[in-house]
A and B are shown apart, each in its own frame.
Chain A
Amino acid sequence: GENVEQHPSTLSVQEGDSAVIKCTYSDSASNYFPWYKQELGKRPQLIIDIRSNVGEKKDQRIAVTLNKTAKHFSLHITETQPEDSAVYFCAAGYSSASKIIFGSGTRLSIRP
């Protein structure tokens, strides 16, 4: 069935270093891959998304890469800052089921 696996579940990096979060999905028909950021006590908010016809997308310090053959996609955050501390969720869109399946989340902590 539809499944999205996300790793790691927790990640601690030094301020200024890079952070990478990885996800795999099960259904090769998935064609939309968003990433959401949820700060403590707040709602999830979209930070970047990628569609299946693109291999990479960047927006300032964040980038997402997609490998459709391997069914992997990753979030890269460079020059991390304290405000990057949050829970990050990957997701995969399943047109056949009219829904998005979320990964289990990664709690990112930025050490000063």
Chain B
Amino acid sequence: DTAVSQTPKYLVTQMGNDKSIKCEQNLGHDTMYWYKQDSKKFLKIMFSYNNKELIINETVPNRFSPKSPDKAHLNLHINSLELGDSAVYFCASSQETAWGEQFFGPGTRLTVL
């Protein structure tokens, strides 16, 4: 009965590699997000999708490409990984964008060596 799930939980990889993180929500929400939380715990929005359409792209490098095959899934693909990409990436979903609770996934800890 998990509400928002992400895989994998941990990801360790070399610089220059390409990796993907998957996210699924079973809450029937229309909006999904990707957040990046760095080592200082800052929680910064990267992307937001509403009904499979991109509505927010917060000047994230184009090495990051989100994909929403349907409104229950939002995946994040990262090309040419860099050391600075190391962080915890959280997926989240909500019924409304700026006016309601966001439900976060468990996070994916990405370490780039």
Contacts and interface: CB of A to CB of B under 8 A. Distances in A.
Interface string A80-103: 000000010100011101111110
A91 to B, nearest CB: 9
Interface stretch (B12-20, B21-29, B97-105): B97-105
A44 B56 CA distance: 20
Of the four ranges (under 10, 10 to 19, 20 to 34, 35 or more), the interface on chain B belongs to: 20 to 34
Interface stretch (B37-45, B61-69, B70-78, B79-87): B37-45
Nearest to B41: A105
B35 to A, nearest CB: 8
A98 B98 contact: yes
A32 B102 CA distance: 12
Contacts of A45: 104
A104 interface: yes
Contact of B99 (A38, A89, A95): A95
Interface string B88-113: 00100000011111101111000000
Contacts, number: 59
Interface of B: 40-45, 48, 50, 55-56, 90, 97-102, 104-107
Interface residues of A, number: 24
Interface in A57-100: 87, 89, 93-95, 97-100
Given A43-B104, A43-B107, A45-B104, 4 more contacts: A32-B99, A43-B105, A89-B43, A95-B99
